[in-house]
Every structure is written in C-alpha cells, then in structure tokens.
Amino acid sequence: MIRLPKNKERVPLKRILQGEAEAALRELQIAGLDEGPQHPSSWRNASDGEWKLIVELNRPDRLYHLTSDPWETRNVAEDHPEVTERLKAELHGYL
C-alpha cells in the first residue's frame, strides 16, 4: 500500500481512465525501485513535468531540466540546488 501525505490528493483510477485527473497527475510523479536499503540498484525519482530528480544509493543526485533537455543528458543538480532540495523533500514525503 502506498501512503500519500495528507496534503496530497488521491486520484481514483476511474478518474484517470476517464481523463478527469490529468492536472492532478501532472503535479508530481514519483517512481522507484527499492531492492533494500543497501542494494546498489535501488533508485527513486520525482518529476514535476519541468524538472526530474533521480536519487540512487552511492551516486550523486541527478537533476534534469526536461523542458530544455528531454533526453536527460545534462545533470544540472549543482546549478539548481533549490530545485534539487524541493524535489528531494517531495520525494521523501512519499516514502
């Protein structure tokens, strides 16, 4: 079971399939693979549509500006620490 923070809207599958929940879905997308706290392939990401943050065990955080870099070729985490921290806080809010 995935538990959403209290301030996040739960979107019923029916609304998604009927196209009624598009705005809520685009607000923030969270994905990940958790093989355990020390497993090297564990990762998580958060995307707000403009930015995408990828957090992996034993690797630096990666931030991509999807609007200007849709192929995710340039890590801009050091250039935009405020975006990195905002998305990281959102990501940890879901975990």
Token output for 56: 């992996």
How many residues are given for the chain?
95
Q: What percent of the chain has pLDDT over 70?
A: 64
More confident residue, 83 or 9: 83
Asked if 53 and 46 count as a contact pair (C-beta separation under 8 A), the reply is: yes
Residue 11 DSSP symbol: -
pLDDT digits (tens, 9 = 90+) for 28-53: 788 877 766 666 667 889 999 899 99
pTM given for the model: 0.67
